[in-house]
């Protein structure tokens, strides 16, 4: 007989049918009720055992965490909370789990404890729900771009350009670290390295995506990205996944329209397709917040918050307007910000972004037209000569979720920028070529996938929305 998934069985009418199911024991009560889960859904199927029919040694192996194959009859459930249950005829133990040592017992474990058990934590309700939502979001992202005329483009993971400027990089090398070849100045000679030059793991696929947008029209990347930033925050990983659409002939307004429509669309997708998991995560969050002071609790429950974002316009505000709001804000006047705002040109910290979103506008905000000095060299200079066509999308509870811009398409302006920053033009020869041959207005942005998953699941720490997080001092598993 072919096994069914728990999800399928729970949707099946109780027709006194013979069924088979494989899964892991969540709980085993009174030597009679096995709650079995196989990851296909948050819900368990109840399997009712007549213990007199089974030998004691077998029953002893049915502990939380054990993997079983159960065969029996699908019948109408006598208990509450489910329509159907299995009257067990046969039990095969794929593998037991000794309750003396199996760490995932049916009780509440802290998220910190579970991070140490990252290989087993997906067997908890919280992590299975988060990972199913993560998977649904990834699918929704591909679906959105596919339905909107984009091509999925694969940017290289090993990059030879060190001008991306988005953060500290991880070096990729095959040189002998104890005895590297040296050049005549006694420096490590990267000409001898695998690629004949210094290479790193990519911090962004944008520059390469630009090249492909200027031929395929609309492309997007969705892949791993690496930043050796030593910031131990709840929003930074050393290895994260980023979605980077890049569009020829899009200006900044079109870029903002796309980003907003895209985010709303993928959130709508999970609202429709992940109802049970979201309800569970909403309840988890409410329970967690019960112990917090009123002021720190969310104003909206999770599903309401997702609906709010999907149904309402994001507020678009220039950097200059934002600085004025921040300068005159209560926390600034009362010196509550760690980084006080006085001058135009200041870089915005997460505390400022969150003030704008959570206290002032109370909705997602797109900030645009930033000072050129605090943004990357490739962003298009405005006519005022001091701001660039950059945009960041700020989300409640998260801060920056998207960073994007219209790209500088004018060769002369880009060259001046590069010179002013002391970047060697030779490093960017191919990027400059794109401005020499068929250049055009174009734009794109980067969305941090884990920040989106954080928002969508209501989890508080980015380490809990990626299967095996990579952070400073942590690459176990
Ligand atoms: P932040 O200021 O929060 O560090 P950033 O300005 O460095 O972000 P960008 O270089 O614009 O970010 O990257 C685009 C997006 O990638 C960000 O909006 C964010 O969602 C995500 N992102 C950036 N760095 C990280 C990281 N270390 N871990 C997870 N996501 C990240
Ligand atoms: Mn950063």
pLDDT at 461: 97
* Residue whose CA is at the smallest distance from ligand 1 atom 4: 236
Look over the chain and give the mean of its residue pLDDT values, rounded to a whole number. Answer: 95
Dist. CA 458 → ligand 1 center (Å):
19
Q: DSSP letters along 125-165, please? A: HHHHHHHHHHHHHHHHHHHHHHHTTPEE----SEE------
Confidence of residue 230 (pLDDT cuts 50, 70, 90): confident
236: Cβ below 6 Å to ligand 1?
yes
Residue 451: exposure state from Cβ atoms within 10 A (0-12, 13-18, ≥19)? buried
pLDDT at 183: 93
Tokens of 443: 């734009």
* Residue whose CA is at the smallest distance from ligand 1 atom 7: 166
Dist. CA 159 → ligand 2 center (Å):
18
pLDDT at 431: 96
Cross-sheet strand order for the sheet of 199-201: 158-159, 199-201, 171-172
Judging by DSSP bridges, how do beta strands 45-48 and 33-37 pair with one another?
A: antiparallel
352: Cβ below 6 Å to ligand 1?
no
* Residue whose CA is at the smallest distance from ligand 1 atom 11: 403
Which among 166, 366, 400, 472 is the best mutation to test ligand 1's pocket, defined by most ligand atoms within 8 Å of the CB? 400
Tokens of 386: 């001091």
207-224 average pLDDT score: 98
Residue labelled with tokens 């507020």: 315
32-37 average pLDDT score: 97
Does the pLDDT of residue 95 top 80, yes or no? yes
Residues of the chain with pLDDT > 90, as a percent, come to 90
Dist. CA 132 → ligand 1 center (Å):
23
* Residue whose CA is at the smallest distance from ligand 1 atom 26: 236
157-204 pLDDT, tens digit each = 999 876 666 668 999 999 999 999 999 999 999 999 999 999 999 999
| Residue 186, phi-psi category: left (phi > 0), alpha (psi -120 to 50), beta (remainder) | left
Confidence of residue 205 (pLDDT cuts 50, 70, 90): very high
203: Cβ below 6 Å to ligand 1?
no
443-464 average pLDDT score: 98
What 3-state DSSP class applies to 54? Answer: coil
pLDDT at 436: 98
pLDDT at 298: 84
pLDDT at 60: 93
326-332 average pLDDT score: 95
Q: Is pLDDT larger for residue 52 or for residue 251?
A: 251
Structure letter (DSSP) for residue 170: -
Helices (H), 148-240: 206-216
Residues of the chain with pLDDT > 70, as a percent, come to 99
Which among 445, 451, 464, 474 is the best mutation to test ligand 1's pocket, defined by most ligand atoms within 8 Å of the CB? 451
356-368 average pLDDT score: 96
pLDDT at 162: 65
C-beta of residue 255 within 8 angstroms of C-beta of residue 404 = yes
Backbone torsions φ then ψ of 248, nearest 5 degrees:
-70, 145
244: Cβ below 6 Å to ligand 1?
no
pLDDT at 14: 85
Residue labelled with tokens 């058990």: 117
* Residue whose CA is at the smallest distance from ligand 1 atom 10: 166
The minimum-distance atom of ligand 1 relative to the CA of 237 is 28
The minimum-distance atom of ligand 1 relative to the CA of 452 is 20
pLDDT at 299: 84
279-291 average pLDDT score: 95
Taking the whole predicted model, whether its pTM rises above 0.75 is answered as yes
45-92 pLDDT, tens digit each = 999 999 899 999 999 999 999 999 999 999 999 878 889 999 999 999
Does the pLDDT of residue 138 top 70, yes or no? yes
CA distance 237 to 448: 10
366-417 pLDDT, tens digit each = 999 999 999 999 999 999 999 999 999 999 999 999 999 999 999 999 999 9
pLDDT at 173: 95
The minimum-distance atom of ligand 1 relative to the CA of 392 is 18
Which among 242, 376, 397, 470 is the best mutation to test ligand 1's pocket, defined by most ligand atoms within 8 Å of the CB? 242
Does the pLDDT of residue 297 top 90, yes or no? no
Q: Which residues of 178-196 are buried (b: 16+ CB within 10 A; e: fewer)?
A: eeeeeeeeeeeebeebeee
| Residue 221, phi-psi category: left (phi > 0), alpha (psi -120 to 50), beta (remainder) | beta
| Residue 385, phi-psi category: left (phi > 0), alpha (psi -120 to 50), beta (remainder) | left
354: Cβ below 6 Å to ligand 1?
no
pLDDT at 444: 98
pLDDT at 415: 97
């Amino acid at each position: 007989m072919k096994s069914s998934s728990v999800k399928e069985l729970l949707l099946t009418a109780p027709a006194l049918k013979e069924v088979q199911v494989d899964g892991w024991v969540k709980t085993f009560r009174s030597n009679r009720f096995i709650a079995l889960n196989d990851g296909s859904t948050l819900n368990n199927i109840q399997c009712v055992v007549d213990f007199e029919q089974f030998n004691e040694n077998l029953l002893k192996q049915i502990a939380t965490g054990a993997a079983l194959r159960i065969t029996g009859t699908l019948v109408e459930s006598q208990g509450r909370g489910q329509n159907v249950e299995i009257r067990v005829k046969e039990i095969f133990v794929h593998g037991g789990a000794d309750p003396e040592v199996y760490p995932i017992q049916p009780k509440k474990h802290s998220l910190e404890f579970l991070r140490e058990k990252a290989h087993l934590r997906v067997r908890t309700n919280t992590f299975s729900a988060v990972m199913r939502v993560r998977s649904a979001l990834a699918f929704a992202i591909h679906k959105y771009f596919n339905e909107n005329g984009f091509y999925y483009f694969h940017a290289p993971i090993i990059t030879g350009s060190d001008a991306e400027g988005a953060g500290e990089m991880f070096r990729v090398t095959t040189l002998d670290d104890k005895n590297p070849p040296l050049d005549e100045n006694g420096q490590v000679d990267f000409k001898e390295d695998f690629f004949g030059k210094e290479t790193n793991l990519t911090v962004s696929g944008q520059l390469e995506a630009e090249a492909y947008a200027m031929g395929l029209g609309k492309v997007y990347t969705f892949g791993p990205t690496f930043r050796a930033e030593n910031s131990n925050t709840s929003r930074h990983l050393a290895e994260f996944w980023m979605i980077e659409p890049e569009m020829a002939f899009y200006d900044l307004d079109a870029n903002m329209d796309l980003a907003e429509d895209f985010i709303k669309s993928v959130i709508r997708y999970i609202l429709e397709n992940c109802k049970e998991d979201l309800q569970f995560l909403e309840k988890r969050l409410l329970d967690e917040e019960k112990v917090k002071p009123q002021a720190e609790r969310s104003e909206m429950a999770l599903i309401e918050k997702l609906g709010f974002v999907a149904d309402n316009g994001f507020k678009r505000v220039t950097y200059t307007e934002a600085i004025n709001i921040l300068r005159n804000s209560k926390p600034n006047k009362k010196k509550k910000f760690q980084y006080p705002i006085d001058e135009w040109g200041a870089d915005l910290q997460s505390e400022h972004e969150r003030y704008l979103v959570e206290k002032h506008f109370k909705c997602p905000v797109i900030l645009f037209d930033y000072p050129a000095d605090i943004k990357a060299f490739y962003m298009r200079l405005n006519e005022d000569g001091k701001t660039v066509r950059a945009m960041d999308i700020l989300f409640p509870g998260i801060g920056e979720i998207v960073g994007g811009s219209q790209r500088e398409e004018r060769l002369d302006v880009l060259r001046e920028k590069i010179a002013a920053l002391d970047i060697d033009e030779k490093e960017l020869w191919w990027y400059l070529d794109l401005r020499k041959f068929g250049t055009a207005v174009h734009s794109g942005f980067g969305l941090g996938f884990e920040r989106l998953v954080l928002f969508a699941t209501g989890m508080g720490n980015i380490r809990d929305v990626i299967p095996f997080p990579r952070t400073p001092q942590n690459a176990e598993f």
